[in-house]
Amino acid sequence: MKKVQVPAGRPLGRIVCPNCGNDREFVEVARNVVVTTRYVQNDDGSFTPDEGDSEVLGKVGLYCGQCDADVSIYHNHVMEMIF
């Protein structure tokens, strides 16, 4: 993978995969995740999720959605830009 210099203190703007140029589709992968879901059983025997919780115990990476290049250096930026 090609190294990309990111100027300190400057906003990134749009993220672009340095490998293929993709600027639209990215995939976040969390490893070693514990997912807890609480259910309520209904009178008819079916279940309805009441609340859920997840805890990431491992590494979280960001990958290009087109060529699978590791672009984890941009993960913090993605987290800051989710509205």
pLDDT at res. 5: 59
Computed over its alpha carbons, how large is the radius of gyration of the chain?
18
User: Would strands 47-56 and 60-64 be described as parallel, antiparallel, or unpaired?
Assistant: unpaired
All structural domains of the chain with their residue ranges: 29-80
pLDDT at res. 6: 56
CA distance 58 to 19: 26
Which residues neighbour 57 within 8 Å (Cβ) at sequence distance 6 or greater? 31, 32, 33, 34
List the chain residues with pLDDT less than 50.
9-11
pTM of the model: 0.70
CA distance 78 to 31: 18
